[in-house]
């Protein structure tokens, strides 16, 4: 099972971007998917989470601006980011935990990261 994050880029403050985390490979029963970010010189921090029931959690600094969602048909978990501010500049990573259907192995997976740059 692999994760691939995409959708990053350069945007002006107030703009929007949509990040996607795409699953591929073996069938994977997802328990939860999270988006994290890491700004230059800072530790990686949680941004948002969605669990298998579709319940979501957001950190205070993105509440009301970002939306995490799942598209089971496309095997993606997206992060819609609106009203971006320069402080949102970071490399964004997706993380998933779940079970490989074929052999019941529990896995924690990370995507490779996608860079979001917000200019003032």
Write a three-state SS string for the chain. CEEEEECCEEEECCCCEEEEEEEECCCEEEEEEEEEEECCCCCCEEEEEEECCCCEEECCCCCCCEEEEEECCCCEEEEEECCCCHHHCEEEEEEEEEEECCCCEEEEEECCCEEEEEEC
Which residues does the chain have with pLDDT short of 70?
none
Residue 26 has a pLDDT of 82
Residue 74 has a pLDDT of 85
């Amino acid at each position: 099972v692999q994760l691939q994050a995409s959708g990053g880029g350069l945007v002006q403050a107030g703009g929007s971007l949509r990040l996607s985390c795409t699953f591929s490979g073996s069938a994977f029963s997802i328990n939860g998917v999270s988006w994290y970010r890491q700004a230059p010189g800072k530790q990686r921090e949680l941004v948002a989470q969605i669990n298998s029931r579709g319940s979501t959690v957001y950190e205070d600094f993105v509440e009301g601006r970002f939306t995490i969602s799942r598209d089971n048909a496309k095997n993606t978990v997206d992060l819609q980011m609106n009203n971006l501010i320069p402080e949102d500049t970071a490399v964004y990573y997706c993380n998933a935990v779940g079970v490989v259907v074929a052999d019941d192995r529990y896995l924690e997976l990370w995507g490779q990261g996608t860079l979001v740059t917000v200019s003032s």
